[in-house]
């Protein structure tokens, strides 16, 4: 059974959908106006209040101040922070001094060398993607030599989760656009994706 994260939640109905589907993680893109799924810390706190116990909320950040991330982890709003910018090991060390919350570092993977570089991260988990939320799959054979647990992202849908799980054996799969219709989260697709990750019909 593969763990699953549904990312890019921004509306109360999105929370209702994940509460029904019960993925392991759900994600919020915080203070990144370039994303149409962007939410503020205040919006996250409001949405988080209605989230079912047992679904771990993850904040997705791009080059944000460490203090901003730590506050949301330390006050219990988030269970983990997912870093998608130019954060380096010095940044991770600075964040570690402020919080004990889980850190996931995202890497764009195009070659085996990219995958090996990701493996050296001091983050608790790494996330391997074709790009910064590109919504496109990549050559999964590149990940053959990755030995540490990782989140797999990029172009995943309810239909290709079983193949991704079988070929890559990731710790978790991470979906956003793959569970949307016309740019908005789709209840049926979320339910199907979680069922696929859990190996259910």
User: Can you tell me which residue has the tokens 């982890």?
Assistant: 73
Give strand pairing partners of 83: 61, 105
**Residue 168 among the catalytic residues:** no
Query: What is the 8-class DSSP label of residue 16?
Result: H
| CA-based nearest residue to 7, from 23, 40, 16, 19 | 23
> 14, 24, 26, 129: which is the annotated catalytic residue?
129
Tokens of residue 129, six digits: 């993607």
**Residue 13 among the catalytic residues:** no
Helix/strand/coil for 69: helix
Compute the C-alpha angle 15/21/27, nearest 5°: 45
Burial classification of residue 136, based on how many CB atoms lie within 10 Å of its CB (0-12 exposed, 13-18 middle, 19 or more buried): exposed
What is the per-residue DSSP string for 15-69?
A: HHHHHHH--SEEEEEES-TTSTTEE-HHHHHHHHTTSPTTPEEEEEESS--HHHH
Cα separation, 140 vs 159, in Å, equals 16
> 7, 14, 26, 168: which is the annotated catalytic residue?
7
Contact 32, 62 (CB under 8 A): yes
**Which residues are identified as catalytic?**
7, 129
């Amino acid at each position: 059974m593969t763990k699953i994260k549904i990312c890019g939640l921004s509306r109360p109905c999105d929370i209702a959908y994940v509460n029904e589907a019960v993925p392991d993680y759900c994600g919020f893109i915080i203070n990144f106006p370039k994303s149409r799924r962007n939410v503020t810390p205040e919006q996250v706190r409001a949405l988080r209040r209605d989230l079912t116990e047992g679904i771990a909320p993850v904040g997705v950040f791009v080059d944000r101040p460490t203090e901003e991330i730590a506050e949301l982890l330390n006050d219990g709003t988030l269970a983990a922070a997912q870093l998608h910018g130019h954060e380096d090991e010095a940044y991770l060390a600075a964040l570690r001094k402020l919080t004990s919350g889980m850190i996931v570092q995202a890497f764009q993977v195009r070659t085996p060398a990219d995958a090996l570089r990701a493996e050296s991260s001091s983050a608790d988990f790494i996330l391997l993607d074709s790009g910064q939320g590109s919504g496109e799959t990549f050559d999964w054979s590149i990940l053959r030599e990755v030995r540490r647990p990782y989140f797999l992202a990029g172009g995943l849908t309810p239909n290709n989760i079983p193949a991704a799980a079988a070929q890559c054996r990731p710790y978790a799969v991470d979906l956003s656009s793959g569970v949307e219709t016309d740019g908005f989260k789709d209840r049926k697709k979320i339910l199907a994706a979680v069922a696929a990750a859990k190996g259910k019909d």
